[in-house]
Amino acid sequence: MFKKTAIVAGLGLALAATAQAQQSNDKLQEAVVTSDHLVDTYRWEIEADYTHGEYEFDDFDDTEFDSFSVSGSYFLDDVDTTKGPRSEAAFLDHASDISIFYSYSEVDDNGIDVDGDDYGISGRYVTDEAGWIFGGSYTRLEPLDAEIDTWTLSAGKYITDNTTLLLTYWNGDADEGGDTDGGAIGLEHFWHLTNGGIKFAANYGMINVDDADDVDIYNISGTWYVSHDLGFGASFGRYDGFDGLIESGGSGLEVDQYSVFGEWFITRNIAANLAYTYGEVDNSDIESNAITLGARVRF
């Protein structure tokens, strides 16, 4: 039981280490002069990331895992990138979008051969004047031949031009293990600085698991943009619950993850990013280390 649980937890850390009709370039990459400044816009965004890491537990030392993800977003209106750091363009421009994504993770080392797929679609709509935010998503996770479907609904508001407050409800349906549901509240804020800015985000969520104790989720992150093209940040996340999952420890689990990351827009439309993530499961000897390299392209 412990070995199976450890494998599932290890794959979960691997999956978590990876945590969104083309028109002509003349229209989608337009740079137009309005009043006294240049406005750069984009309508599409494609992202891809590759993660390589390792985790260890019990007799399985330095077990390696790999993950690849790709996503694409279509924005309902041109996104203005001149309101602050390019990485925050969609947030600062109150953009609405439709996105799809897919990721694949595998562990194939030390006699372990497991993999998992994760794919879905999401959307966000922001009203023009009042700044109300409405969103939803569907995700299917397929770890270890299981199938878990999750739906979310979100509603919130830009309470200032650079601050959002968002409430989210989700429902999950697993083919083995029953249903779950829960909710979350999230806050994001951006402070402008002379040459860049600071972005802060925090959220708290709760998962109600059938026939088990609830799981609490905490996340906090901060990013310092030294310029409009370059930013560095750090984040912390905790999953607290899963009582009774490991037979030898009845107090449940605390899964912590720490990340540092950076993104650099090499050109106005192409960015590269790098991240390091460390994860550990309290009340056990399971831990993971991962490095993620990614890129995004806008047009």
Say what the pLDDT of residue 10 is: 41
Average pLDDT over residues 170-188: 87
Rg (CA), the chain: 20
Enter the tokens of residue 263: 């993104």
Tens-digit pLDDT profile for residues 118-158: 999 999 999 998 999 999 999 999 887 788 899 999 999 99
- Identify the band that residue 211 occupies on the pLDDT scale cut at 50, 70 and 90: low
CATH superfamily of 2-298: monomeric porin ompg (2.40.160.40)
In degrees and rounded to multiples of 5, residue 186 shows phi and psi of -135, 145
Distance CA 92, CA 196 (A): 13
Tens-digit pLDDT profile for residues 237-286: 998 876 555 444 455 678 999 999 999 999 999 999 999 999 998 877 78
How many other C-beta atoms lie within 10 A of the C-beta of residue 109? 15
> Quick one: three-class SS letters along the chain?
CHHHHHHHHHHHHHHHHCCCCCCCHHHHCCEEEECCEEEEEEEEEEEEEEEEEEEEECCEEEEEEEEEEEEEEEEEEEEECCCCCHHHHHHHCCCCEEEEEEEEEEEEECCEEEEEEEEEEEEEEECCCCCEEEEEEEEEEEECCCCEEEEEEEEEEEEECCEEEEEEEEEEEECCCEEEEEEEEEEEEEEECCCCEEEEEEEEEEEEECCCCCEEEEEEEEEEECCCCEEEEEEEEEEEECCCCCCCCCCCEEEEEEEEEEEEECCCCEEEEEEEEEEEECCCCEEEEEEEEEEEEEC
41, 42, 43, 49: CA torsion to nearest 10 = -150
In degrees and rounded to multiples of 5, residue 28 shows phi and psi of -85, -25
| 8 Å CB contact between 58 and 82 | no
Asked whether residue 57 carries a pLDDT value surpassing 50, the answer given is yes
Enter the tokens of residue 33: 């002069």
Measured between alpha carbons, how far is residue 289 from residues 227, 237, 295 in Å?
29, 15, 20
- Identify the band that residue 56 occupies on the pLDDT scale cut at 50, 70 and 90: confident
The 8-class DSSP code of residue 161 comes to T
Q: Tokens 């969609």 — which residue?
A: 90
Instruction: Tell me the domain boundaries of the chain.
Output: 2-298
Asked whether residue 86 carries a pLDDT value surpassing 90, the answer given is yes
CA torsion sign, 252 to 120 to 274 to 224?
A: negative
Higher per-residue confidence, 24 vs 230: 230
